[in-house]
Amino acid sequence: MPEFVEIRTEPEEAKPELDVSFELLDLDLLKPHEELDPNELEAFIESVTSSGIFWKAALVSKEGYVILDGHHRWAGLKKLNAKVMPCILLDYVNNPEVKVYTWYPFIVGSLNHLIDVLKNIKEIDIIYESSKDIIIEKVENMEAAFGLIHSDSNKDFILIVGDEDPYDLQKIIIKHLIDDQRIQLGYIDTIKGAEELLAQRKAVAYFVRRAPKKKEIVERASKGKVYPPKTTRHSLPFVPRKIHVPLDKLLNP
Ligand code: AMP
């Protein structure tokens, strides 16, 4: 099983499950807004090919057919030469029921090694900063690509800055982290959850980042530009009930 760590602290089980209608949309019609995590892509392909069943419809915006949730399903189906994907079409930009948050990348491994990796990335500079509040403020104002919060009380926290667009800098950083054999990268849904990982010594550090706004997401995707992996986490007030579509039907609709 490929290793992919995603931790959800806000339980989906608390939400009502609803039957939501879906459509089989042409894969080429859909526009991604995020890069992929290679481990998550592999995990999906393994899951769908071993069961032969596709059970989770993607979420897609009516505005511009942007994939909101389902990038690895979309890319995995493409790789398997499928033609269509089950999608739930949503009114998006002005729909208060659809909320956008982010996933926080966290690191398992050595903090010193992580800082060395960051120092060797030529496109970025690191600035030490002791206040978590200032880190969060600067990240929210897009004055820094990432803030790095860690577990070593003898070191200041870190702001990561550079000349490029903050999301492009995040992409560069995440690529280095994925490529590094001594670091394991995971994602968690809340800062509170990330703080608990540090307190329980299950992670040595996590990155804070700003969740993009809905309009920005549609604009960026329409231009063919994408965010780093798992930049957005879309949330609905309900959980769409599982579907049961044979993979064959997506390969030969
Ligand atoms: P993403 O498409 O980016 O949301 O990431 C892959 C998603 O595929 C994960 O949320 C998994 O829950 C989901 N998944 C795993 N196996 C299947 C399957 N056989 N059919 C549909 N979705 C799946």
For 188: left if phi > 0, alpha if psi spans -120 to 50, otherwise beta; the answer is beta
Q: Are residues 184 and 116 in the same domain?
A: yes
Domain contains 147: yes
Residue 70 has pLDDT above 90, yes or no: yes
Q: How far, in Å, from the CA of 50 to the mean position of ligand 1?
A: 13
Residue 228 has pLDDT above 90, yes or no: yes
Residue 12 has pLDDT above 80, yes or no: no
pTM value surpassing 0.85: yes
Q: How far, in Å, from the CA of 56 to the mean position of ligand 1?
A: 6
Q: How far, in Å, from the CA of 73 to the mean position of ligand 1?
A: 6
Which numbered atom of ligand 1 lies nearest the CA of 75?
2
Q: What is the pLDDT of residues 110-160, one digit of tens each?
A: 999 999 999 999 999 999 999 999 999 999 999 999 999 999 999 999 999
Q: Are residues 124 and 198 in the same domain?
A: yes
Q: How far, in Å, from the CA of 196 to the mean position of ligand 1?
A: 26
pLDDT band at residue 3, thresholds of 50, 70 and 90? low
Residue 10 has pLDDT above 90, yes or no: no
Which numbered atom of ligand 1 lies nearest the CA of 51?
19
pLDDT at 81: 98
Domain contains 229: no
Q: How far, in Å, from the CA of 69 to the mean position of ligand 1?
A: 10
Residues 52-68 have a mean pLDDT of 98
- Tell me the two tokens of residue 37: 């995590």
Q: Are residues 28 and 52 in the same domain?
A: yes
Domain contains 15: yes
Torsion 39-40-43-44 (CA) sign: negative
Domain contains 225: no
Q: What are the percentages of helix, strand and coil residues in the chain, rounded to 5?
A: 35, 25, 40
Q: Are residues 183 and 242 in the same domain?
A: no
CATH number at residue 166: 3.30.1760.10
Of 73, 78, 235, the residue with max ligand 1 atoms within 8 A of its CB, to mutate for a pocket test, comes to 73
Which numbered atom of ligand 1 lies nearest the CA of 54?
20
pLDDT at 124: 98
User: Which residues on adjacent β-strands are paired with residue 69?
Assistant: 59
Q: How far, in Å, from the CA of 30 to the mean position of ligand 1?
A: 17
Q: Are residues 107 and 199 in the same domain?
A: yes
Domain contains 52: yes
pLDDT at 1: 42
Q: Report the candidate in 86, 5, 80 with the shortest Cα–Cα distance to residue 40.
A: 5
Residue 2 has pLDDT above 60, yes or no: no
CATH number at residue 51: 3.90.1530.10
Residue tagged 């890069």 (tokens): 35
Domain contains 226: no
Q: Are residues 116 and 95 in the same domain?
A: no
Residues 77-92 have a mean pLDDT of 98
Q: Active-site residue 164, yes or no?
A: no
Q: Are residues 95 and 18 in the same domain?
A: yes
Domain contains 231: no
Q: Are residues 95 and 140 in the same domain?
A: no
pLDDT at 224: 96
Structural domain containing residue 38: 5-99+214-220+237-251
Atom 11 (ligand 1) nearest CA: 44
Average pLDDT over all residues of the chain: 95
Atom 15 (ligand 1) nearest CA: 44
User: What dihedral do alpha carbons 68, 229, 10, 99 form, nearest 10°?
Assistant: -30
Q: Are residues 91 and 161 in the same domain?
A: no
The span from the first CA to the last CA of the chain, in angstroms, equals 29
Q: Are residues 95 and 107 in the same domain?
A: no
215 vs 219: CA distance, rounded Å = 6
Identify the active-site residue in 34, 40, 42, 63. 34
Atom 20 (ligand 1) nearest CA: 54
Ligand 1 site, CB within 6 A? 40, 44, 47-48, 51, 53-56, 69-73
Atom 14 (ligand 1) nearest CA: 44
Domain contains 228: no
Q: What is the pLDDT of residues 183-206, one digit of tens each?
A: 999 999 999 999 999 999 999 999
How many domains, in total, are found in the chain?
Answer: 2
Q: Are residues 24 and 113 in the same domain?
A: no
Which numbered atom of ligand 1 lies nearest the CA of 36?
3
Give me the DSSP letters along 32-60: --BPPPHHHHHHHHHHHHHH-EE--PEEE
Q: Are residues 136 and 155 in the same domain?
A: yes
